[in-house]
Structure 1
Amino acid sequence: MAVTIEAEAPEAKKVPVHQPVARIALIGNPNSGKTSLFNQLTGLNQKVGNFPGVTVDKKTGISHLTPQLKAQIIDLPGSYSLYPKSLDERVIIDLLYDPVLKNRPDLVIVTADASNLKRNLLLFTQLADLRIPAVLALNMMDVAETEGVKIDIEALQRDLGVPVIPMNARKGIGIAALKILVSQQLSATEVAFFEVPANLRPTVEQIKERFSLNNDYLALHYAHQYKHLRFLSEEDKVWVAQLLEAQGFRSTTEQANETIARYVRINEVLLDVVRVEKAKEEEKFSNKLDQILTHRVYGYLIFMGLLFLVFQAVFAWASYPMDLIDEGIAALNGLIQENFSGPLINLLTEGVIAGLGGVLIFIPQIAILFAFIAILEETGYMARVTFMMDKIMRKFGLNGKSVVPLISGVACAVPAVMSARTIENWKDRMITIFVTPLMSCSARIPVYTVLIALVVPEVYYFGFMNLQGIVLMGLYLLGFLSAILSALLLKVLLKARERSYFIMEFPVYRMPRWKNVGLTIFEKSKAFVMEAGKIIVAVSIILWVMASYGPGDSFERAEERAVAEAEVKGLGEEQTDNLIASYQLESSYAGKFGQAIEPAIRPLGYDWKIGIALLTSFAAREVFVGTISTIYSIGEEENVTTIKDKLMSEKDADGNPFFTPARAFSLLIFYAFAMQCISTLAIVRRETKSWTWPLAQLVYMTGLAYVSAFAVFQLMS
């Protein structure tokens, strides 16, 4: 049944065009199409910052309302009401309630799901009573049409006292009308949806006088939320607390009474403007699909199958562009080194460009992972997954939405940490980000491969179960168990005041909007390169300097000693080069550091050479293999067989094999737990907007790795 729209392009109040709207805030319920509208208004003119003082992203963009006028669009976190349940939602009250805030929006666009107008209007009526100029973007008109909902736009506009724009933000329908409307100077509605009760008037009047407010409802919110208003001084908060105690103010009770009163008023409005023609009694297609996709057995199997597909794609599909990037960086370095020479050229090629390559090589994995996540979210399936997994994950202090970061962490922790943004609750998101790096990522595979091949025999059980494969699977399971148990521990230690609620509305199934998918891929890739890349390149340069220079003249004489020893042993050119590199590394600042930390790592069974590998692999875990290749002068690091043979022949001071099962398993356990990845630390810093979390991760995971590796070595020795 088609939706009847009495006013196709409702006009704003008859006011002349004055100054352009400087700041426009987008606000609405989750799944109301707010993100689609933001993308339509801003396109690629977006940037991600953070709200002052909180670890919550602020997406802003520039929209060309008319050829002559531009406006800044602020995308606020999705919320069901102005009474926040999470830290993310609190930024809304900070932005709207602070009377002296310079970035306070001049206009609010409230997005509402036309097919579920009753629930969506609760937030609108609260904003309206704050007397903020607003426009109601009546989104998802196509869904309303499918469900037989008929809306009298003109009557709704009259009853609400604000312009109402019917639209379909996913397809861009109504965007032009919205831009023209908000380019005009609009005023707040004169319609009141809630009157402050008489018993609260004394409290409200005193708050208005204290803070020089001229809005009763705003003063009431000061009473409800004074503890969370960052712009209030401690003295002001104490004054409000004492006032409320003296007046017997009960916030929870008054919020409930207000919500009931608002829904009574909303029902009165909708009774005149909305008509629903009952659809056929037969079950909707989406409900039938939900019975399969959220089934207590089939639902999990389907989800695991999709995860396997995503996992394979991130591994297999990303390998080709990653190889191209790797080869391109190597070719560029080779070209520069062939035509130029000198310390600055070495710094450029081995420090800057190599560090840049370490950033760019992650882009294919990030792009593919977020492409899948965006598609699953756009289709509506991701909401079903979080619903299924929430009950299980909540026992460990996580959230249903924590599943995606944990699973994708098996490929790479960098995009996995970034994908935790879908978790609205601050506490659940922080715990997820904290434990995700414990999942064994693909960068650990080179370390696992060499060490397992070194000490685990290649035998088969039942003709198909390879013992080396079983050990490798055990390391991955160990990572998962350590992640969920660490989350359980953090759940106890992290005593956040906010409770974790799981409120989710299933959106209807629909085809993904490919423009939104593309914008998501672009935004995530750009954020990683521009933010995390700066730190990665800087650390790569520092590590290069430490490995390329040494104190005193020992580093300069290292080559002479290596050449003399090579002549005595009759080594070839390649072996001589490897010996020179090994001597230089031993004499470098990195080598001295390895020797300095040797007393600390000796209880784990390691010597100074492994200490250097631990240091250099801090940039990325897979660097371990390349480092031991240089240290033990074994040539090409890709030749795993050669590495294994050389390590097996390595002797300790007593002439016994150095890499015993105890040492090898100690190293395996250390790398299974240790935070040996600058990229992950950099992205955690960016996602949390603080150094506290990545440093806490570094200390916790290094400590866990040290204690576990110590226990393994001592027990197996």
Structure 2
Amino acid sequence: MTVITQPEMVQAEKPAILKSVAKIALIGNPNSGKTSLFNQLTGLNQKVGNFPGVTVDKKTGYSQLTPTLKAQIIDLPGTYSLYPKSLDERVIIDLLYDPQSKHYPDLVIVTADASNLKRNLLLYTQLADLQIPVVLALNMVDLAESEGVKIDVPALHRALGVPIIPMNARKGVGMAALKIVASQQPEISTVPFFDIPEELQPALQSIKQRFDLATDYLALQYAHQYRSLKFLSEADVQWLDKLLTENNFHSNTLQGKETIARYVRINELLLDVVRVEKVQKDEKFSNRLDQILTHKIFGYLIFFAILFMVFQAVFAWASYPMDLIDLGITNLNGLIQDNFSGPLINLLTEGIIAGLGGVLIFVPQIAVLFAFIAILEETGYMARVTFMMDRIMRKFGLNGKSVVPLISGVACAVPAIMSARTIENWKDRMITIFVTPLMSCSARIPVYTVLIALVVPETYYFGFLNLQGIVLMGLYLVGFLAAIFSALLLKVLLKARERSYFIMEFPTYKMPRWKNVGLTIFEKSKTFVLEAGKVIVAVSIILWVLASYGPGNAFEEAEQLALTEAKVENLDEVQTENRIASHQLESSYAGIIGRSIEPAIKPLGYDWKIGIALLTSFAAREVFVGTISTIYSIGEEENVSTLKNKLLSEKDDNGEPFFNLARSFSLMIFYLFAMQCISTLAIVRRETKSWTWPLAQLVYMSGLAYVMAFITYQVLK
């Protein structure tokens, strides 16, 4: 690979240094290394939000380009051209076609796969014709070189007229040069790549004049995409509609002609700057591996074996740090209670710390799960899973792209539902949005793992197969089966004439970039703790108040009743205190609420304490563990035991363990199916622009949860 020096990369004239914090947008084809470049530029200094006016994920971060200049980096969705094919790609045109926007970038960095320049340069040529300042990050130069592709970078620089940085974003090669060039204001390319037909000029000049646009090509883009540009007013849209109708503007035909013309220019350009010095082998490593990993039989077996290993690891690897966290929370509570007393101390230990402890203890399991997901994505295997599952998905009214939201739903349903925007077909998209919450998200892990640990023995088969891990995987499979059979039902009910299709490019297999894996684990774990923690703290405080106070003289009467019973039953001092705490909890506001719904949940095997946990869980599923931690901590003696021991010691009316096999599995099945996430309902409302879909989800999933939990309890008891 030809390497060029810094002066060759930059225009001959000295470019101006950016005076303020620069806004730099990253854009590129899928699998061009854009995410690796974003992570290299921003490191831990990044966050996820929403693009203005839409629900598509926006990753932003800050990068110190030079000692005196910091830049905001905006990671745009991957796309092949400026003609969007999915909803999330439309945020790109909203950002790049409105120069007056406060989010408009000072510079665009285009990532291009050096081993496939022909395809990657289409997007670049469109941006160049918009006359936006561009730097071309020529990524994966090592891969291109290994395939015998030699690129004359100085010649390509002269042909394009913009800075070009050969690099390997995964390994950080070329980052210093990219930062130096990005810290300066590159000259705008004056090389036109598409000659706009003369007959379009009258309409385009009218558009340029009305909207004060700088280039003919931007006016052409307004003509093509005005109905999708959110910043245009209704009057502007009507004006454009009338103008283009009068000028017989045929968008689809013109887009096709433009794309062909651009590829003709790209082919001519590449003849002079790219040469292949050796014939590529027909059977590359990735292709040979795909013959096994995407095999119609062995491919599925390998995939399920990998899943099996993941769920084994969630229990086996995370058990030691979980025990340490559990012990630390217990010791902290004991230390506080030994040295302080009073209502505020009780709130702190029995409410806040008990609730937060129920979340923190599951961070190791969350970290292990996301570590595996990140590795599968980094290696390129997740794309193969999507391809394989397309064969199954189509039979149930979905397509291969539905697998991305479904797999993402294992992490969180909110971004998973937003990722359904890549599905062009309306029916497939609606079905995917509807069934995605049935996939077991990370918020359900605390519920599953604490209940599995109570009733499933930690038995190993053949020395490495953990029974608890097998049960956990079984729960995830049940959720997946529920999702696809629910999709089949909707396939019959929903009527649409759109035809769906599935196109996916396989990235080559690569070793995981461990920095990216580490970033994913850190970000997801932090999000889980902070997002859950906000809700947990609020709910724990409210619960503690509700469980520590009652109406009128209810607490005094409960204490007198408990003392009378203790005297009759000859209880010792500790037993008497526990009896008083139990009666007072039952007489509290929380107890009254729980008792009022107990008749409805009694057939499922639940009592009023579980009823309280079910109600609070509608804020977020993970609140269940925090709630029972708080409920079972109220009135306990000092040096409270761990959560597991609290639940093991809980007895039913017959003196038997309350959390037995039937009741625990009934609870797991209920949480598996129930729609208990306000955030998910809100995002479904935003994505579907209707309350019909979220309300239908709530009714359907709640009813399904109740029926399946009832069956489970009645069968197992």
2:614 matched residue in structure 1: 614
Question: After the TM superposition, which residues 271-290 of structure 1 pair with which residues of structure 2 at under 5 Å, given as runs?
Answer: 271-279=271-279, 281=281, 283-290=283-290
Q: Which runs of 5+ in 1 are unaligned?
A: 454-467, 651-657
- Alignment pair present for 1:12 and 2:43: no
User: Which amino acid is the alignment partner of residue 248 of structure 1?
Assistant: N
* TM-score (norm: length of structure 2): 0.84
SS at match of 1:580: helix
CA distance in 1, matches of 2:234, 2:562: 68
2:461 matched residue in structure 1: none
CA apart distance, 1:125: 0.6
Alpha carbons 2:27, 2:110 under 8 Å: kept: yes
The 3 A distance-change label for structure 1 pair 96 and 403 is closer
CA apart distance, 1:421: 7.9
1:45 matched residue in structure 2: 45
Alpha carbons 2:536, 2:623 under 8 Å: kept: no
CA distance in 2, matches of 1:688, 1:370: 27
CA distance in 1, matches of 2:31, 2:187: 27
The 3 A distance-change label for structure 1 pair 243 and 576 is farther
User: Which amino acid is the alignment partner of residue 364 of structure 2?
Assistant: P
Alpha carbons 1:62, 1:70 under 8 Å: kept: yes
User: Which amino acid is the alignment partner of residue 422 of structure 2?
Assistant: N
CA apart distance, 1:53: 1.8
CA distance in 2, matches of 1:223, 1:12: 34
Question: After the TM superposition, which residues 580-595 of structure 1 pair with which residues of structure 2 at under 5 Å, given as runs?
Answer: 580-595=580-595
Greater CA deviation, 7-16 or 192-201? 7-16
User: Which amino acid is the alignment partner of residue 438 of structure 2?
Assistant: V
CA distance in 1, matches of 2:521, 2:661: 44
Greater CA deviation, 36-45 or 691-700? 691-700
How far does the alpha carbon of each residue in 1:528-551 deviate from its partner, in whole angstroms, 9 at most, with x for none?
Answer: 233342123222222222222222
CA distance in 2, matches of 1:267, 1:568: 96
CA distance in 1, matches of 2:350, 2:118: 61
The 3 A distance-change label for structure 1 pair 610 and 526 is closer
The 3 A distance-change label for structure 1 pair 685 and 9 is farther
Question: After the TM superposition, which residues 627-642 of structure 1 pair with which residues of structure 2 at under 5 Å, given as runs?
Answer: 638=644
- Alignment pair present for 1:385 and 2:385: yes
1:443 matched residue in structure 2: 447
CA distance in 2, matches of 1:190, 1:117: 20
**Aligned Cα root-mean-square deviation (Å):** 4.2
Alpha carbons 2:148, 2:278 under 8 Å: kept: yes
Question: After the TM superposition, which residues 253-402 of structure 1 pair with which residues of structure 2 at under 5 Å, given as runs?
Answer: 253-279=253-279, 281=281, 283-396=283-396, 398=398, 400=400
1:434 matched residue in structure 2: 437
CA distance in 1, matches of 2:507, 2:358: 39
Question: After the TM superposition, which residues 224-239 of structure 1 pair with which residues of structure 2 at under 5 Å, given as runs?
Answer: 224-239=224-239
CA apart distance, 1:252: 2.0
2:132 matched residue in structure 1: 132
CA apart distance, 1:337: 1.2
SS at match of 1:10: helix
SS at match of 1:74: strand
How far does the alpha carbon of each residue in 1:310-343 deviate from its partner, in whole angstroms, 9 at most, with x for none?
Answer: 1111122122212222221121111111111111
CA distance in 2, matches of 1:407, 1:76: 22
2:563 matched residue in structure 1: 563
Greater CA deviation, 681-690 or 536-545? 681-690
Alpha carbons 1:437, 1:675 under 8 Å: kept: no
The 3 A distance-change label for structure 1 pair 340 and 593 is same
How far does the alpha carbon of each residue in 1:33-54 deviate from its partner, in whole angstroms, 9 at most, with x for none?
Answer: 1111112222222222221121
CA distance in 2, matches of 1:510, 1:666: 43
CA apart distance, 1:26: 0.8
The 3 A distance-change label for structure 1 pair 359 and 196 is farther
2:173 matched residue in structure 1: 173
Alpha carbons 2:130, 2:217 under 8 Å: kept: yes
How far does the alpha carbon of each residue in 1:404-462 deviate from its partner, in whole angstroms, 9 at most, with x for none?
Answer: 875797xxx55687678877726487456422248985624655787999xxxxxxxxx
CA distance in 1, matches of 2:481, 2:376: 26
Q: Percent identity?
A: 68
How far does the alpha carbon of each residue in 1:212-254 deviate from its partner, in whole angstroms, 9 at most, with x for none?
Answer: 2232211221222222211112222233233333433332222
CA distance in 1, matches of 2:550, 2:703: 29
1:461 matched residue in structure 2: none
User: Which amino acid is the alignment partner of residue 72 of structure 2?
Assistant: Q
CA apart distance, 1:501: 5.5
CA apart distance, 1:300: 1.4
How far does the alpha carbon of each residue in 1:602-650 deviate from its partner, in whole angstroms, 9 at most, with x for none?
Answer: 787866565345346665445798799899x9x9885799779845568
* TM-score (norm: length of structure 1): 0.84
User: Which amino acid is the alignment partner of residue 94 of structure 1?
Assistant: D
1:123 matched residue in structure 2: 123
CA distance in 2, matches of 1:213, 1:495: 43
CA distance in 2, matches of 1:276, 1:525: 45
How far does the alpha carbon of each residue in 1:35-74 deviate from its partner, in whole angstroms, 9 at most, with x for none?
Answer: 1111222222222222112122222222122222221111
The 3 A distance-change label for structure 1 pair 494 and 353 is farther
Q: Which runs of 5+ in 2 are unaligned?
A: 424-428, 458-467
How far does the alpha carbon of each residue in 1:538-583 deviate from its partner, in whole angstroms, 9 at most, with x for none?
Answer: 2222222222222222024322321221111223445434422321
CA distance in 1, matches of 2:446, 2:531: 22
CA apart distance, 1:147: 0.6
Question: After the TM superposition, which residues 455-534 of structure 1 pair with which residues of structure 2 at under 5 Å, given as runs?
Answer: 478-488=478-488, 502-534=502-534
The 3 A distance-change label for structure 1 pair 544 and 146 is same
CA distance in 1, matches of 2:253, 2:523: 42
Greater CA deviation, 207-216 or 57-66? 207-216
1:164 matched residue in structure 2: 164
CA distance in 2, matches of 1:581, 1:313: 39
The 3 A distance-change label for structure 1 pair 640 and 452 is farther
2:30 matched residue in structure 1: 30
- Alignment pair present for 1:67 and 2:70: no
SS at match of 1:65: strand
How far does the alpha carbon of each residue in 1:293-314 deviate from its partner, in whole angstroms, 9 at most, with x for none?
Answer: 1111111111111111111111
1:95 matched residue in structure 2: 95
